[in-house]
Amino acid sequence: MWSILALLALLAVIVGLIIKTETLGKDYKRLQAQARIVDSDSQQVQQVTFELAETLALALTSQLHAARRMSRFDEKDLDLFELCLQAIPLVCKEMLIRRPSLSAAFQRSMRQLTDIDPALIEGLITRHGRLVQAWQRNSLPGYLQLCQQIVLLVQEYSHKDTLRATPDASVI
């Protein structure tokens, strides 16, 4: 009699395990499908972010070119600033895919873009105090802010020189 009860208990445990295994299998398949959807969404977000970075780079480069004509910055500095702007999509891609620090992503991007030592650009950034804070954020938003600040710096420098050159210019 005890053996029959033990056998029934064992059978109940086996049936319970089979049912649990089936529910775990269904949960696994559901989670796999969700993971595929999330991965697909993540890739789409990365692609959109990369496209926005390219658009921002083009817009900022265009603004830099417009301000460059009237700028009194050294041409070499302006070329280095332009490289920073051209590197936006590459830095964005590096930081989205590999997730390195900003400095590592920037150096890798510069190696892909040109043979100029990234330390020259970093030195240029540290010479202009208003650029340092964005650079030190060590993030993609910080780099994008740095690039915007570069354009503003060149524009303001050009604007101030234009005002100085015109004797009857008044500041409102």
* pLDDT tens sequence across 95-153: 888 888 888 999 999 999 999 999 999 999 999 989 999 999 999 999 999 999 999 99
Residue 121 belongs to a domain: yes
pTM over 0.75: no
Q: What are phi and psi of 92, to 5 degrees?
A: -60, -50
Whether 27 is covered by a domain: the verdict is: no
How far apart, in whole angstroms, are the C-alpha atoms of residue 88 and residue 54?
7
Q: Which domain holds residue 106?
A: 42-163
Please give the Cα distance from 67 to 72 (Å, whole number).
10
Residue 77 domain-assigned (yes or no): yes
Provide the token pair at 99. Answer: 């997730």
CA distance 169 to 71: 18
Give me the amino acid identity at 11. L
Q: Can you list the pairs that 96-102 forms with residues at least 24 positions away whose Cβ atoms lie under 8 Å?
A: 96/46, 96/49, 96/50, 96/140, 97/46, 101/138, 102/135, 102/137, 102/138, 102/139, 102/140, 102/142, 102/143
Q: Does any domain span residue 63?
A: yes
- For 8-44, write each residue's pLDDT tens digit: 999 999 999 999 999 999 999 999 999 999 888 888 9
Q: Is residue 7 part of a domain?
A: no
**What is the pLDDT, as a whole number, of residue 159?**
63
Q: 148 in a domain, yes or no?
A: yes
- Is residue 34 in a domain? no
What gap in Å lies between CA 38 and CA 31, rounded to an integer?
10
Question: Per the domain annotation, does 17 fall within a domain?
Answer: no
Domain count, the chain: 1
